């Protein structure tokens, strides 16, 4: 698996040990990848090029313990369930799943099925699963019921810390980015704050951008790589730039919900460094959360006498280094997704070519 730094790209900032969202203590990532069949599309039968990604904010050990959280949508042509409650409460207490557009339902059910299993027969609880999507219909039989609730449960069960696979894995299996094969990508940055050291981690499901826009570390390479672009060179119905991008930002720095929202609002600046203008046909939805231990973060139904919650947070006028970490991390995560992905052929022979590394190396003078 090729990554942007190993490739030699001049990226700024200091990454964590795995250069992944899992560098934030407690965060775990798991995948279910579904690849089967070839040839003409037969709705309900395949070919299948899809999957499920699960991000556990506090890992299995901290399941149900709320994090402060915030959201931002650059363009609403997409879905993230549970978003209204995150915006209302400023908290996130469930796994975050990412899949294809037509598999949101079974993934939503899968989060509930796993919760039922983990409760071991205890009475039902109230929950609003968080499931986000991007569209993989160019390569995948997206209308077929291939993703099931069991696949969502499997992705959650597979979640681990440490290095994270990138490219055509999990929910990113059938995705395309700048007319090349895209998918899953991640990165992290270390942030010094007075005597303390924190981590900002980023995960992207990259399915956005027109080929002509692609920019790598400030060098506009899209025009020079304009050939071999099946999505634009055929009568495929989607306009250039169609797709979506989901970005999840995690940090162990103590932040207020509004500060998490402010981090999510910086995601488009990192995406823009890779060239996108934020197309109307792209659903661009971003979530940021803090895993700092803020005590009970009370929500749900009240139990016992009234009390008070206390939040500790980074000073508002000193948050810029965290913004910088988000922008740098998003840019690198997208490049990691592009460089890790290999050429993939899907339904009806549709082909998504890999980013040509040798040509990119020449264009970048590496």
Residues with catalytic function = 244, 282, 284
CA distances from 55 to 42, 111, 263, 359 (A): 32, 12, 18, 34
> What burial class does residue 281 get, using C-beta atoms within 10 Å of its C-beta: 0-12 exposed, 13-18 middle, 19+ buried?
middle
What does the alpha-carbon distance between residue 151 and residue 107 come to, in Å, rounded to a whole number? 8
For the four alpha carbons of 322, 325, 329 and 330, in that order, the dihedral sign comes to positive
What does the alpha-carbon distance between residue 61 and residue 55 come to, in Å, rounded to a whole number? 13
Contact 45, 252 (CB under 8 A): no
């Amino acid at each position: 698996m090729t990554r942007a730094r190993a490739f030699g790209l001049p990226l700024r900032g200091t990454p964590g040990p795995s250069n992944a969202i899992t560098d934030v203590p407690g965060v775990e990532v798991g995948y279910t990848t579904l690849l089967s069949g070839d040839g003409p599309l037969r709705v309900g039968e395949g070919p299948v090029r899809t999957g499920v990604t699960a991000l556990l904010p506090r890992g299995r050990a901290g399941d149900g313990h709320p994090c402060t959280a915030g959201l931002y949508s650059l363009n609403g042509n997409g879905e993230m369930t549970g978003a209204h409650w995150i915006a209302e409460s400023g908290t996130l207490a469930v796994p975050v799943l990412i899949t294809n557009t037509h598999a949101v339902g079974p993934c939503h059910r899968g989060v509930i099925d796993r919760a039922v299993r983990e409760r071991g027969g205890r009475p039902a609880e109230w929950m609003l699963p968080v499931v986000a999507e991007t569209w993989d219909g160019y390569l995948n039989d997206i209308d077929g019921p291939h993703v099931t609730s069991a696949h969502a449960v499997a992705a959650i069960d597979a979640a681990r810390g440490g290095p994270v696979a990138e490219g055509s894995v999990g929910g990113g299996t059938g995705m395309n980015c700048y007319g090349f094969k895209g998918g899953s990508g991640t990165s992290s940055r270390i942030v010094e704050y007075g005597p303390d050291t924190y981590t900002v981690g980023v995960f992207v499901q990259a399915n956005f951008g027109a080929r002509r826009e692609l920019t790598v570390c400030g060098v506009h390479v899209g025009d020079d790589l304009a050939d071999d672009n099946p999505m634009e060179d055929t009568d495929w119905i989607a306009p250039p730039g169609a797709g979506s991008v989901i970005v999840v930002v995690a940090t162990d720095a103590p932040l207020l919900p509004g500060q998490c929202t402010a981090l999510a609002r910086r995601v488009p600046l990192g995406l823009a460094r890779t060239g996108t203008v934020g197309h109307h046909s792209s659903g661009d939805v971003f979530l940021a959360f803090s895993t700092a231990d803020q005590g009970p973060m009370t929500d749900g139904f009240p139990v016992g006498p009234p009390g008070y919650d206390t939040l500790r947070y980074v000073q508002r006028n000193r948050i810029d280094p965290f913004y910088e970490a988000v922008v740098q991390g998003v840019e690198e995560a997208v490049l990691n997704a592009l460089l890790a992905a290999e050429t993939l052929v899907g339904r009806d022979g549709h082909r998504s070519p890999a980013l040509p590394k040798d040509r990119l190396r020449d264009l970048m003078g590496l």
